């Protein structure tokens, strides 16, 4: 076994491997463009976030709401670009005249998506300087419109308020810029089978935002499983819940009971389970194995290894402060992580 220090290996090999996969689909021109954009943006952004280097000036590094590594950010960048470049049921693939615009959007929600609120403005200023373009709005208020291939505001794509007759007040969700952008990010990541993690303080409407996004997804293609973790949740409890909602498809393959549908598993309070002697949380260790391998062992009996198919994963956690548990970084690395900030005065 050969051990390589992450500082020596870096994040570039992951991006290079991802580029080779893109090359097979989109060709040399797009691969070269993505390589140039990487060299222009990623090294200075990583220096600014982790080392506090803003050009030749030394400033304070930026802070995340939950710990992230430079490799985590590059993985999330590639995932978000995939949501833009991957057009379902489209053949041949869509051609892009200006890759820098979607790249800036992807950088905003990968490298800046998990930053604390007060450091988002610093990141926004620095990214605009590296891009050498004047953006009329904060980059976090801007989305990439795939139809027009241009940057647009989230506000212009915000759905109108629709109140069903006889609806209870507690069931009414008023659309805001926050619910619009986080719902879009969640649905887009799930479309490429990438797990999503929302991290935020109590009162930031993480759960409501997830439920709003689910209501906008095609119910003919998706079923939903809500799980609430507590300090008493064990890995056995978690596996029992999963097995109660799947059925045998073949001898060793299991999937959702609703035929033809993908099951979206929403785990609230992922950080709640008790930390054991070895610093891990049993349910989260099982979740890491399930997401990483797509398999589960049968408990008892012959310990059969079974394939679990057609599952998607969404989770919410509270920031690791004020006594909240810190989730294993190896679990967090499997998710696209977004900081759900408090609503602005305008939104309220």
Identify whether 189 is part of a domain: no
Identify whether 270 is part of a domain: yes
Looking at residue 4, what is its pLDDT? 82
Number of domains in the chain: 2
pLDDT along the chain (348 residues), means of 10: 83 92 75 92 95 90 94 96 69 66 94 94 92 80 85 86 82 84 92 93 85 86 93 94 93 90 94 90 96 92 91 94 86 95 82
Identify whether 56 is part of a domain: yes
Q: Are 65 and 3 in contact (CB under 8 A)?
A: no
If asked whether residues 126 and 4 sit together in one domain, one would say: yes
Identify whether 212 is part of a domain: yes
Kind plus residue range of the DSSP H or E element containing 313: strand 311-317
Q: Are 336 and 194 in contact (CB under 8 A)?
A: yes
If asked whether residues 65 and 205 sit together in one domain, one would say: no
**3-state SS record for 193-255:** CCCEEEECCCCCCHHHHHHHHHHCCCCCCEEEEEEECCCCCCHHHHHHHHHHCEEECCCCEEE
If asked whether residues 99 and 247 sit together in one domain, one would say: no
CATH number, domain with residue 309: 3.40.50.300
The domain of 57 spans 1-157
If asked whether residues 331 and 231 sit together in one domain, one would say: yes
CATH number, domain with residue 112: 1.10.472
First to last CA, the chain: 55
Q: Which two tokens stand for residue 137?
A: 């709005």
Rounded to whole angstroms, the Cα distance separating 84 from 144 reads 9
Looking at residue 36, what is its pLDDT? 93
If asked whether residues 199 and 152 sit together in one domain, one would say: no
Burial 98-134 (b: 16+ CB within 10 A, else e): ebebbbbbbbbbbbbbbbeeebbebbbebbeebbeee
If asked whether residues 200 and 279 sit together in one domain, one would say: yes
Identify whether 186 is part of a domain: no
If asked whether residues 153 and 199 sit together in one domain, one would say: no
Q: Are 76 and 90 in contact (CB under 8 A)?
A: no
Report CA Rg, the chain.
Answer: 21
Which residue matches tokens 């012959």?
Answer: 302
If asked whether residues 118 and 21 sit together in one domain, one would say: yes
If asked whether residues 139 and 216 sit together in one domain, one would say: no
If asked whether residues 199 and 344 sit together in one domain, one would say: yes
If asked whether residues 43 and 111 sit together in one domain, one would say: yes
Taking alpha carbons only, the member of 56, 69, 45 closest to residue 122 is 45
CA 254 to chain centroid, in Å, comes to: 25
CA angle 40, 153, 117 (to 5 degrees): 70
If asked whether residues 250 and 142 sit together in one domain, one would say: no
Identify whether 220 is part of a domain: yes
What contacts 145, CB < 8 A, 6 or more positions away? 151, 152, 157
Identify whether 182 is part of a domain: no
Rounded to whole angstroms, the Cα distance separating 232 from 273 reads 6
Rounded to whole angstroms, the Cα distance separating 51 from 62 reads 9
């Amino acid at each position: 076994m050969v051990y390589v220090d992450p500082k020596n290996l870096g994040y570039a090999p992951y991006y290079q491997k991802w580029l080779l996969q893109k090359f097979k689909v989109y060709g040399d021109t797009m691969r070269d463009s993505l390589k140039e954009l990487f060299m222009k943006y990623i090294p200075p952004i990583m220096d600014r976030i982790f080392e506090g280097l803003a050009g030749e000036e030394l400033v304070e590094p930026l802070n995340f709401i939950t710990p992230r590594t430079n490799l985590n950010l590059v993985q999330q960048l590639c995932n978000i670009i995939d949501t833009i470049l991957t057009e379902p049921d489209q053949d041949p693939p869509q051609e892009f005249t200006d890759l820098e615009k979607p790249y800036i959007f992807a950088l905003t929600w990968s490298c800046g998506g998990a930053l604390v609120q007060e450091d988002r403005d610093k990141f926004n200023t620095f990214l605009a300087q590296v891009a050498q373009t004047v953006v009329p709005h904060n980059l976090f208020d801007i989305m990439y419109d795939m139809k027009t291939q241009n940057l647009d505001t989230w506000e212009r794509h915000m759905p109108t308020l629709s109140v069903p007759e006889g609806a209870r007040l507690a069931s009414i969700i008023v659309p805001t810029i926050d619910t619009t952008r986080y719902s879009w990010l969640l649905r887009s990541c799930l479309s490429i089978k990438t797990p999503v993690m929302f991290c935020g303080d109590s009162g930031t409407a993480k759960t409501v935002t997830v439920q709003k996004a689910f209501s906008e997804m095609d119910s003919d293609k998706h079923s939903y499983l809500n799980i609430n973790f507590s300090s008493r949740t064990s890995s056995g409890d978690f596996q029992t819940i999963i097995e109660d909602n799947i059925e045998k498809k073949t001898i060793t393959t299991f999937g959702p009971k609703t035929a033809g549908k993908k099951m979206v598993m929403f785990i609230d309070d992922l950080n709640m389970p008790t930390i054991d002697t070895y610093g891990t949380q049993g349910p989260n260790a099982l979740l890491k194995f399930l997401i990483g391998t797509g398999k589960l062992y049968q408990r008892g009996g012959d310990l059969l290894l079974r394939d679990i198919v057609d599952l998607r994963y969404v989770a919410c956690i509270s920031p690791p402060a004020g006594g909240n548990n810190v989730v294993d970084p190896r679990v967090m690395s499997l998710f696209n992580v977004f900081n759900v900030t408090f609503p602005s005065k305008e939104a309220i």
